[in-house]
Each structure stands twice: as structure tokens, then as C-alpha cells.
Amino acid sequence: MTKKIGILTAGGDCPGLNAAIRGVAKTAIIEYGMEVLGFHDGYKGLIDNDYTALTESSVSGILTQGGTILGTSREKPFKKSEDRNGELKTDKIVENYNNLELDCLVCIGGNGTIKTAHKLSKLGLNVIAIPKTIDNDVWGTDLTFGFDSAVSICTDAIDRLHTTGNSHKRIMIIEVMGHNAGWIALYAGLAGGGDVILIPEIECDIDTVANYLHKRHTQGKPVSIVVVAEGVYEQKNNSFNAHQLAQKIEEITGIETRSTVLGYIQRGGTPTATDRILATCYGRYAAQLISKEKYNQLVVFKNNCVSHIPLKESAGKLKTVKPDEMIVTAARALGVCFGDGE
């Protein structure tokens, strides 16, 4: 019998979502003859039974588009479990899934989406999850799509800050995304020639950073670039943002310091070629798993190959930067300061 599957995109948007939708839908339709439904606005669409049929033509031409044609939301049916009528959202999800006679649900998202997908699998739904997030912090995969695009955007911004910093002989601070994982700051900082990289995984001290920057200044290097992840905490457990860091550094060093916060620019625009290819391969592999009825899996990229692991292995876990990560040691060898005095 022809399989019927659903697709949704949940959590924060990022470049490559449409490529993943296209990869799943086209493979499912062309190679396996499946019927494909797209749920609007993440898990909210599944709760409200709000969907549209996806065809080969409806997913054509979306490969290069940013955002998601299905829309997204941060709806968490297990966290806020009742709707306004007092009904359990999870009951409605199971009911709609069964009424539509779905064989599988493809959930495209980050850590929260994957955790919810795993919980739904324990309620009897067949689920396949595809990891997306600009933060690259999904446990079990080497790479999430959206990350390469975000790093490219951040690197371009750092390149531009170099020129204005050189013109005014300033310290330039750029804040990038990353609450709990510093992958974007680490990669963009190294690619953009950052002199200081501050990430959540390595506790930093502002005095150490300021002394490093002052030393550079006395050595005839008046221009410095500081790349900081938004989730960075000082050793004294005082959280700070780029603006506060700039004020403190200028106060200590006496060097004019300016800050820039990239914010949601990192999520927007068209995906890079790398993210388009990765998302497409993820989508195709998800459809393959469904054709083999190998459910409740997370599609991953390991050892330069697309593969899969049981969903339960990743749900609730976070992939963070290790202090001895190759990129960290490479940056330290170049003299980059991480604010920890090493």
C-alpha cells in the first residue's frame, strides 16, 4: 500500500529548511510513490490538524529560499500540555495522526524538536527526525544544516569589522548566537581572524581579556577583534552581553571599544551550498528510512557519511565544544585568547 507521511518544521528558523522539505518530499514522491502532507507552524499544525498536501511541483523552486514554506513555531505540546479548552495537546496529536492514517511523521528541528519527537514516538507515532540548527549543538551528529550559513554570515560581518576597526584603531566586539554552545563563535572567530574568542564552554575573566588586549596595543597592534557567544559567563558568574563587555574593556584599557550584535541576521537569507546539499541528503535519507519502515531514528552526519541513530540516544542531550577540540587548540596555537589565561 502507498505510504502517507507528514512533514513539519519546528523551533527557530534557519537556512536550509526548505531544502530539507524538498529532499524528503521529492524522494518520497518520485522514488517511493508516497503521499506527503506538510503541517503548518510546527507541532501547532499537528495539534490543529492544519496541513496541506505537498506535491512534486509545490516543492520545486524552494531549494534556494530561506525560511520555511511550512512555517514554524516554538509550540511544545508536552510542556504546555493543555489547549484553551482544557484538552491535552498530545491527545489531539495522536488523534490527528491516526485519523489521517499517517505511516510516519518527519520532524525537522533542533534539540527541542527532537526531544518532542522522541516523546511522541513513545506514544505510538512513527517518527523520523532531521537535525537543523545554526548552533550545531545536536548530540549525535557532526553537522546540522543552518550552521554553515550562519558561520558564513558571521565571518562576513567580522571581515567588515576589521576594516572599520583599522580605520579608527578600535577594539571591535561582535556578539553571535550560542546560548549553551559556542560553535558559531569558535568557527567564525577562527575564520574571521578574531583575536579573542569567548564561548560558554570555557569560563573567561574580563580582566584577563582586557590585559591581553592592552598588551596587543602596547605591541603596536591597536586593532583587535573580539568574538563572543551570547551565552558567555564570566568566572565570577556574572553574565554579560557585548555592550557591557565593550564598556568594561574600554574602562580597563582606555582603548576606544565598540560592540555589534548580529542577532537574527544569522538565521536569515539563502542557505550556502553546503547547507543545501546537507539538507537535501538528510531529506533523501529520511525518506529511505521510511521506505524500509525503520522508524524512530535521527538522521545524522558522521565520519563524512549520512547515517542514523536511535532517536532516544540524542533526545535531551547537547553537543558542546570540548576544551581540547581541534579548532580550539588550533586557535590557541595562533595566539587567540579564550579569556581563561591559557
Amino acid residing at 134: I
The predicted pLDDT at position 233 comes to: 79
d(CA 79, CA 194): 39
Q: Which of 13, 103, 135, 275 is catalytic?
A: 135
Q: What pLDDT digit, counting tens, does each position of 286-338 carry? A: 999 999 999 999 999 999 999 999 999 999 999 999 999 999 999 999 999 99
* Residue 84 pLDDT exceeds 80: no
What contacts 13, CB < 8 A, 6 or more positions away? 66, 67, 68, 72, 267
Amino acid residing at 39: F
* Residue 103 pLDDT exceeds 70: yes
User: Does the annotation count 135 as an active-site position?
Assistant: yes
Amino acid residing at 153: I
- Please, are residues 299 and 288 in contact by the beta-carbon 8 Å criterion? no
pTM: 0.94
C-alpha cell of 296? 524512530
C-alpha cell of 271? 542557505
Residue with cell 559556542: 182
Of 165 and 4, the structure prediction assigns the larger pLDDT to 4
3-state helix, strand, coil in the chain (%, to 5): 40, 20, 40
218 burial type by CB count under 10 A (0-12 exposed, 13-18 middle, 19+ buried): exposed
103: which DSSP letter? S
d(CA 42, CA 182): 26
1: confidence class by pLDDT, cuts 50, 70, 90: confident
Average pLDDT over residues 209-220: 94
The predicted pLDDT at position 188 comes to: 98
Three-state DSSP state, 217 = helix
Distance of CA 296 to the CA centre of its chain: 21
What contacts 67, CB < 8 A, 6 or more positions away? 13, 17, 18, 268
User: Half-sphere exposure of residue 202, counting CA atoms within 13 Å on the CB side?
Assistant: 26
Q: What pLDDT digit, counting tens, does each position of 187-208 carry? A: 999 999 999 999 999 999 999 9
Q: What pLDDT digit, counting tens, does each position of 117-155 carry? A: 999 999 999 999 999 999 999 999 999 999 999 999 999
The predicted pLDDT at position 86 comes to: 73
